[in-house]
A and B are shown apart, each in its own frame.
Chain A
Amino acid sequence: MKVLTLNFLTCAVKACKSSSDSFPLHPKDAELVHDDVEVNAQLLTNLLHRLDWKALRTTATELGFPDLPETAPTQEDLENDEKTLKDLHNLLIETQMMEGKLVCGHCGHEYAVREGIANFLLPTHLV
């Protein structure tokens, strides 16, 4: 599962949706792999408009990536700085979490990731 995907997902427990602690989910025991994907600079730049940057910073740090800057780079930043662009592309699109868990910071439920597929089905008592 891609790091970018984590920016769009939250805890599947209904009662957690309204809590800010349920997003982003926290990776645990994550095994990462790297996929080579061609850079689409313009898409990446446009993508910044819809990312929750604060959540992405948290995810990146928890996965062991170097700390991201406090605020999202601007379109100009990306156009003038190829390294920032490549680093973001590597983090968001090329990094895949193959094994591990995603933990909700509100209810503590752990969602398993196996062979790159996260399982958000809930045990009976949480449905």
Chain B
Amino acid sequence: MLPTPDTSHVSYNRVYEPAEDSFLLLDTLSLPSETTFLQTRFSKDALPPPLVLEVGPGSGVVIGFLTANATPLFGHDHILTFAIDVNRFACSATGLTVKKATAETGAGSSGVFLDAVQGDLTNPCRPGQVDVLVFNPPYVPTDELPAPLTKEGNEKPTFEEESKLLELAYAGGKDGMETTERLLDALPETLSARGVAYVLLCAGNRPEEVKDRIRSWAGGSWKAETVGTSGRQAGWERLSIVRVWRDDDQ
């Protein structure tokens, strides 16, 4: 078992607390099937070093895990990681989580963490740069999607504003897919040619239909497969993780 980052410094009034979905991502990315996939695709000799992005890191537990355990997961420590979250408090929490996690595993195991920046999904990304993208979306089907954040976050949020930050972390609108659809739409532009995305879905998101849609994308042979402990029971949510990538005749 690789160490799980410590997030005890995070204020869960404002930032999503690591839960079943977060831990499913850690478990899945540590499976031999996935470490073999990553190590083959991003071996040390396969220049340049991969750029890893987590969208919506919340506490930073997942990107902290990937950064601190670069060597066991990718086979080497030449990886760059960063994160984008709509919630400013999540950005500062993530920075600290990664710092603590990499201090614990130390040099030789850790990659280089760049930054957590505040933004809406992959909007600030320069096209074609991201090699590994991880997304634990707001996937719960809800009647309405909270209005997106637009201006700068408050230094001292009110109780209502804190509630909205947490709502943004789980409320997914129709089929729980409204935010995930926007992320998927941006994948062909965001990912590099060798890029791969891991997206968490719940049963309400209709994962089979989502995968079929991805496979029909234009401009390349897109693949989408459920990986690892698919459909693990987590209450009513029944979570799974879909790997999305382009296959260039490997």
Q: Which residues of A line the B interface, CB within 8 A?
A: 1-2, 4-5, 7-12, 14, 17, 23, 38, 40, 42-43, 46-47, 49-50, 93, 112, 114-124, 127
Give chain B nearest CB distance to A3 CB in angstroms: 10
Against A, the Cβ 8 Å flags (1 = close, 0 = not) of B231-246 are 0000000000000000
Q: Is the CB of A119 within 8 A of B152?
A: yes
Contact partner, B118, options A42, A47, A118, Cβ 8 Å: A118
The 4 tightest CB contacts between A and B, nearest first, are: A50-B48, A120-B119, A49-B48, A12-B123
Against A, the Cβ 8 Å flags (1 = close, 0 = not) of B34-61 are 0000000000000111010000000000
Give chain B nearest CB distance to A33 CB in angstroms: 14
Q: Is the CB of B123 within 8 A of A120?
A: yes
B48 neighbours in A (Cβ, 8 Å): 46-47, 49-50
Q: List 29 A-B contacts (CB under 8 A).
A: A8-B82, A8-B126, A9-B125, A10-B124, A12-B119, A12-B120, A12-B123, A23-B126, A38-B107, A43-B78, A43-B112, A46-B48, A47-B80, A49-B47, A49-B48, A50-B47, A50-B49, A93-B112, A114-B152, A116-B115, A117-B92, A117-B117, A118-B115, A119-B152, A121-B86, A121-B118, A121-B150, A123-B151, A127-B120
* Residue of B107, B123, B125, B151 most packed against chain A (CB within 10 A): B123
Which residues of chain B in 117-153 are interfacial with respect to chain A, using CB atoms and an 8 Å cutoff? 117-120, 123-127, 129, 148-153
A4 neighbours in B (Cβ, 8 Å): 80, 114
Q: Is the CB of A2 within 8 A of B114?
A: yes
